[in-house]
Amino acid sequence: MDKSFEQIVLVTGASRGIGRAIAIELGTKARLVYVNFLRDEKSALKTCKLIESTGGNAKIIKFDVSDAAMSEKNVQSILDAHGRIDILVNNAGIRNDKLMAWMQEPDWKNVLDTNLASFFNVSKLIVKNMITKRFGRIVNISSTAGQVGNAGQVNYSAAKAGIIGATKALAKEVARRNITVNAVAPGFIDTEMIQGMPIEEITKMIPGARLGKVEEVSSLVGFLCSDKASYITGQIIGVNGGVA
């Protein structure tokens, strides 16, 4: 069992965008960051290289967060190697936007499985381990869509609202064990996730009059995972330029 790192970190969906920025933020000499990905190994390796370029440590780990058995197997492999996972960031997510009237069952199910069921799939064994170790930091990436709802995103909004409820409930279950559970709810952040959206029209609706930057999300996640945030739990914190 490897005990050479002070903290073991798992960030899901960390090959690009917000997930990559979070993995880099959490990458330090004292930590080992597991960079989860499903398809784009090249991008996941790039995330690792960026972490290592700042003095951090990283490894890639490939699995589908929407698959319960696959998630359990890979989480267990990290626990077997290190005995613990100290920080978990549930970031993996997809969009499949359609108006409800034209939405098919796969459009609904795939988004719910990846964005919400994954929270349970990935977190269950980790929470058990954190309870035993009496320490943990869990940050779930929700969305402004889960707070206010977005037309054309009934599936995405439902999943992200579910993350908010799950965050609040789990936080109450584990607070006495020195485990914090919080959610960060980004608004419109300049990533590949918003490609295809009417950016000019969206920007007009944002009081801050611009898209957010991935670093503005990752810096908050970094704070929530630090000792300075040890009395913050069960909170949903928006990074949205004033939209919600």
Catalytic residues: 156
Q: In what order do the strands lie in the sheet with 31-37?
A: 57-62, 31-37, 7-11, 87-90, 136-141, 179-186, 236-239
Amino acid at 241: G
Work out the angle at residue 16's Cα, subtended by the Cα atoms of residues 10 and 17, and round it to the nearest 5 degrees: 100
- The three-class DSSP label of residue 181 is strand
What residues does 61 pair with on adjacent strands? 36
3-state secondary structure of 180: strand
- Tokens read off for 149: 């709802």
In the structure encoding, which two tokens stand for residue 152, read together?
Answer: 């054309």
User: Per residue, what are the HEC states of 100-135?
Assistant: HHHCCHHHHHHHHHHHHHHHHHHHHHHHHHHHHHCC
C-alpha torsion 40→43→185→209, nearest 10: -120
If we measure between CA atoms, which residue out of 25, 135, 42, 5 comes closest to residue 89? 25
